[in-house]
Structure 1
Amino acid sequence: MTDLPFGFSSSGDDDDRRDSGDKSGDKDGGNTGKGSGGQDPFGFGFGGAQGFDPSNFDPSAFNPAMLGQMFSQLGSLFSGMGSGLSGSGSSGPVNYQLAANLARQQIGDFTPVSGGENKAVEDAVRLAEVWLDDATVFPSGIAKSVAWTPVQWLEETMPTWQRLCDPVAVQLSKTWEGNLPAEAAQFAGPMMGMLTQMSGMAFGTQLGQGLGQLAKEVLTGTDIGLPLASDGVAVLLPEAVGTFTEGLEQPAQEVMVFLAAREAAAVRLFAHVPWLRQRLLSTVEEYARGISIDFSGIEQLTTDLDPTQLLSDPSKLEELISSSASFEPKTTPEQQAALNRMETLLALIEGWVEQVVAKALGDRIPGTGALTETMRRRRASGGPAEQTFATLIGLELRPRKVREASALWRQLLDASDITVRDGVWAHPDLIPDATDLDHPAAFVDRVIGGGTSAFDDPIAELERTLAEERANEQREKGGKEQREKGGSSDTDGDA
């Protein structure tokens, strides 16, 4: 995976995958195109092999009517993508249909979920739920427990991925159209729609590659820190769990219960902290609003480019789209602040889950400590969470912050009780920030020193906060109406 945000992969990525022995893209050249070569990252199939003969093209005879010929030729190129360019997912800033098709190819063969695996997941979640009742004040948030295959995970989580990716892709598209250098805009204007489609394909290609790999690695529905499944659904992926269990010294049944407890704890948190899901997604949107692109590279690229070259050599369009040097986004201070907030929030979620599961299972499953450390190492070595977020939005979940977040929750519990600890989630203004993770003792002193009455009932506290906000809105609305009424009376009096 690349550290660049998605849609901006460098030209050497395919070579890296071949060198690393990745065979997932061998079929049809790693995409749905049938005629693309190994150096064609998006499957566009540019070149004479598609029937376009550059030797017959005379630049001096160029006229606007020839654009029709080029569009016809490029239309045949796009048709090679097959079903990836059709359907509801083929329009918009990201070609999600193409992403889904590529992800399914990368998943390859998988083992269907058996009835026994379904029952094992249900039993593990049910047992974990009983033990979690003593470890957190949040009640169960699970309506059903399910076992998914990688393809089911892909299909069920795609709506959440769309919500995560759309803000970034839309802003990048707007930035592209609004800031394209004059020289490039002059000859690209008639083909902007085609460029937009190609951009959506490029985004979809990289998203599909990332999700295809992620679908084979994730263990649960909240493995990357986000609630990707529907509300109230606890998810485990038996095939990935089995692979994860190989080589561990713990019995497979204990590993299953441990992972079920992590999933159940995360579902409880998201179910009973209503602002949490929206805060994560809105942070991505906030990051997206600040996206800007350095166009110095494309200006360099188009300085000596004759527009007629786009007819004789359509690969120039691919070069414009895929050149990371030309379109690499710049990270503004505001964006970095948004990413830091998201990293902190994801670390707090992971740290809280870790502490709750340790308390619930510590005396019941001897291998809980070892499994917890295994999960930490998995994340520290670049697990699916770090890879996916780094690819999609440039976010890296630093393992150091996860460890510090876990320590903060542990210290707060040691100094108080689970009611105070979980009460911190009652309102976003109460949760720790990055500075608190670096200095947990100060945060604990602030919470304890300020009294614990505000944390006696986190759900009730949240309801009181929301009620106060509604009351303030009503007062402001009433005051505005009164002022408008008074202004109207004054006007009538003057008349």
Structure 2
Amino acid sequence: MGLYRSVRAVTGASGDGPIDWNAVAKAAKASVDPGNLDVSAAEQQAYANDARDARDRVRAVTSLDFDLPERVEIQNRHHWLDANIATFERVMTPLEQQTQKAPGVAQMTNTGSMAFSLRFLSSHVLGQYDPLLLADNDAHALYFVRPNIKHVAEVLDVSYPRFRRWIAFHEITHAAEFGGAPWLSAHLETNMQETIEKLSSGNLDRSTLGQLDTTMTAVEGYAELIMDRAFDEEYDDMRRKLEQRRDGQGPVEQLIRRVLGLSVKRRQYERGKNFFETVVELRDIETASRVWESPERLPTDTELDDPRAWLSRIN
């Protein structure tokens, strides 16, 4: 029945844009179970404690000046879809404004593809730091997708409270980056808008995508570096089990991950972490944190593989 409603939503796509975002929301929600959000007061407090403890530990490790986001939410999968569909719609608006109305079949294809992608992600995202790109205000948000956290903890056979705390620490490292570098949101927005503008004109080049990839590699790599030093217990077992689960997924799911760029994100983690680990070995964490002083302090694509060159430049 859910699949039927999902197909009905896609085939009923309408409006003037190449994507019917209302239909995206209906189709994605119809095809995914929202999950249990029956959270006790004690569990709500545990999430809040994890976030605050992570903030304090990351502050101590990095000396970055930041605080928790204005919004910290425990969500189900449908809540996550609502938040991210809104972001995707904001980000895609410039492209839609420059694109002529898509024929019916093309609009259905675009709408169906977006619904499928977001539906897949809503079943796999554990936590998300959301800088609310292109929003009308400067508010940031932090989401915990409780049904996914509970499910993965059970599949990996690890303690739910311990796994939940690990997710909190990882996402708070991103809060530290964006809080300690107020320019970072605007920098990402500019990169994304340039990418979308060039895409709409059919003139997308490697340098535009490369700048966005370089920034995200720094974001993900630094988060991994700080996570290793801030989390208050050993967690190699959780990371190993999570990576084994991803590697052991079937060919269809692995294909979907590649199409959605999730394999790229993993490469960003590894490449970025190697860069920052080398910087810390050669200098210290304070030097590594200088990457957030200004956009000019970000490593170039070449410097990501040559940390000594970055160190020479910033000094």
Question: The TM-score by the shorter chain falls in which range?
Answer: 0.7 to 0.9
Query: Secondary structure of the equivalent of 1:291?
Result: helix
Work out the CA distance in 2 between the residues paired with 1:387 and 1:285.
Answer: 25
- Matched with 2:82 is 155
The answer (yes or no) to whether the contact 1:100–1:154 under 8 Å persists in 2 is: yes
- Matched with 1:10 is none
Gapped regions of structure 1 (runs ≥ 5): 1-23, 34-41, 44-80, 175-192, 294-329, 451-495
The answer (yes or no) to whether the contact 1:266–1:353 under 8 Å persists in 2 is: yes
Query: Secondary structure of the equivalent of 1:26?
Result: helix
The answer (yes or no) to whether the contact 2:28–2:118 under 8 Å persists in 1 is: yes
- Cα 1:110–1:91 shift into 2, 3 Å: farther
- Matched with 1:167 is 94
Work out the CA distance in 1 between the residues paired with 2:244 and 2:191.
Answer: 27
**Count of aligned pairs between the two proteins:** 305
- Matched with 1:110 is 35
Alpha-carbon displacement from aligned partner over 1:10-68 (angstroms, at most 9, x marks no partner): xxxxxxxxxxxxxx96324x4226xxxxxxxx52xxxxxxxxxxxxxxxxxxxxxxxxx
The answer (yes or no) to whether the contact 2:37–2:146 under 8 Å persists in 1 is: no
- Matched with 2:308 is 441
Of 136, 141, 159 in structure 2, the residue corresponding to residue 233 of structure 1 is 141
- Matched with 1:127 is 53
Q: Shift of the alpha carbon at 1:165?
A: 2.3
- Cα 1:407–1:252 shift into 2, 3 Å: same
- Cα 1:138–1:373 shift into 2, 3 Å: farther
TM-score, with normalisation over the residues of structure 2? 0.83
The answer (yes or no) to whether the contact 2:28–2:116 under 8 Å persists in 1 is: yes
Work out the CA distance in 1 between the residues paired with 2:55 and 2:265.
Answer: 29
1:251 and 2:168 equivalent? no
- Matched with 1:365 is 233
The answer (yes or no) to whether the contact 1:167–1:285 under 8 Å persists in 2 is: yes
The letter of the residue matching 1:346 is: M
| CA RMSD across the alignment | 3.2
- Matched with 2:224 is 354
Work out the CA distance in 2 between the residues paired with 1:378 and 1:275.
Answer: 36
The answer (yes or no) to whether the contact 1:346–1:397 under 8 Å persists in 2 is: no
> Identity of paired residues, percent?
19
Q: Shift of the alpha carbon at 1:340?
A: 1.9
Of 62, 68, 72 in structure 2, the residue corresponding to residue 145 of structure 1 is 72
The answer (yes or no) to whether the contact 2:153–2:163 under 8 Å persists in 1 is: yes
- Matched with 1:216 is 123
Alpha-carbon displacement from aligned partner over 1:361-403 (angstroms, at most 9, x marks no partner): 2xx3122x33345566677789x9x958955xx8972533421
What is the correspondence of 1:68-107 to structure 2 with a 5 Å cutoff?
81=12, 85=14, 90-107=15-32
Work out the CA distance in 1 between the residues paired with 2:93 and 2:190.
Answer: 12
What is the correspondence of 1:193-212 to structure 2 with a 5 Å cutoff?
195-196=102-103, 199-212=106-119
The answer (yes or no) to whether the contact 1:137–1:418 under 8 Å persists in 2 is: no
The answer (yes or no) to whether the contact 1:415–1:444 under 8 Å persists in 2 is: no
Query: Secondary structure of the equivalent of 2:35?
Result: coil
Gapped regions of structure 2 (runs ≥ 5): none
Work out the CA distance in 2 between the residues paired with 1:219 and 1:390.
Answer: 20
- Cα 1:414–1:341 shift into 2, 3 Å: same
The letter of the residue matching 1:440 is: P
- Cα 1:200–1:283 shift into 2, 3 Å: farther
Alpha-carbon displacement from aligned partner over 1:304-362 (angstroms, at most 9, x marks no partner): xxxxxxxxxxxxxxxxxxxxxxxxxx7x5x5222112222211211111111111112x
TM-score, with normalisation over the residues of structure 1? 0.55
Q: Shift of the alpha carbon at 1:144?
A: 4.5
Query: Secondary structure of the equivalent of 2:72?
Result: strand
Q: Shift of the alpha carbon at 1:256?
A: 1.1
